């Protein structure tokens, strides 16, 4: 395992061809990139494929990354562009299967309640139009700022704020229609 904690040092080492450094970068970001892809695509297999593809594309184009910029924003941009391409492809080649989301834990009652709520939220997010879904996923699952989301999606920051606000309203309405009490955690 590569022991350098500084991200810029890891990226410089990766640029110099040190594969252990790039492996550490992948370890740090793979769950966040997978969550982003899953939020866009709503299909676990596609999300896994594109997570892998995003890291390959990022490594191949690492020389284009500006070290003074936030790496996660650049990486999420790479991943979201791949997701958009996949969604365009899907318009002509529809996907029928819907993924299952599984999480573990110790208390069976807590697991069931937590999983039911998580599943209800994920299903409600899945039903949102992509214009609202993507900003919500980036904000609440990937914890990006409005500015970072605007950069990733190539939209004005004001548009992002509006879409997140409207997306939350649509999400609340949809969940309440299904009898799920909506509350905002952050």
**pLDDT tens, residue by residue, 75-115:** 999 999 999 888 887 776 654 444 444 444 455 555 556 66
- Which pLDDT belongs to residue 130? 85
- Which pLDDT belongs to residue 27? 95
Low-confidence ranges of the chain (pLDDT < 50): 1, 4, 95-105, 185-186
Long-range contacts of 25-29 (CB under 8 A, 24+ apart): 25/71, 26/55, 29/55, 29/72, 29/75
Q: CA-to-CA distance for 53 and 29, rounded, in angstroms? A: 13
Instruction: Name the pTM for this structure.
Output: 0.62
Q: Which two tokens stand for residue 164?
A: 């997140």
- Which pLDDT belongs to residue 101? 40
- Asked whether residue 105 is domain-assigned, the answer is no
- Which pLDDT belongs to residue 133? 87
Q: Are residues 128 and 173 in the same domain?
A: yes
Q: Are residues 72 and 155 in the same domain?
A: no
Q: Which two tokens stand for residue 59?
A: 């490594």
Q: Are residues 51 and 84 in the same domain?
A: yes
Q: Are residues 148 and 173 in the same domain?
A: yes
What is the total count of domains within the chain? 2
Give the residue from 99, 118, 142 where a domain finishes: 99
């Amino acid at each position: 395992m590569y022991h350098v904690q500084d991200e810029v040092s890891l990226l410089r080492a990766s640029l110099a061809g040190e594969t252990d450094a790039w492996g550490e970068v992948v370890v740090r970001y793979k769950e966040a990139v997978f969550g982003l892809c899953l939020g866009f695509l709503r299909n676990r297999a596609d999300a896994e494929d594109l997570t892998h593809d995003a890291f390959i594309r990022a490594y191949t184009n690492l020389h284009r990354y500006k070290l003074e910029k936030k790496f996660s924003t650049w990486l999420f941009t790479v991943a979201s562009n791949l997701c958009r391409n996949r969604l365009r492809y899907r318009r002509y080649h529809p996907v029928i299967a819907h993924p299952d989301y599984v999480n573990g834990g110790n208390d069976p009652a807590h697991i069931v309640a937590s999983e039911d709520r998580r599943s209800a939220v994920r299903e409600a997010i899945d039903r949102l139009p992509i214009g609202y879904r993507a900003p919500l996923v980036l904000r609440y699952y990937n914890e990006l700022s409005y500015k970072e989301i605007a950069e990733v999606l190539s939209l004005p920051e004001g548009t992002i704020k509006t879409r997140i606000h409207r997306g939350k309203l649509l999400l609340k309405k949809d969940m309440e229609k299904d009898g799920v009490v909506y509350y905002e955690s952050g």
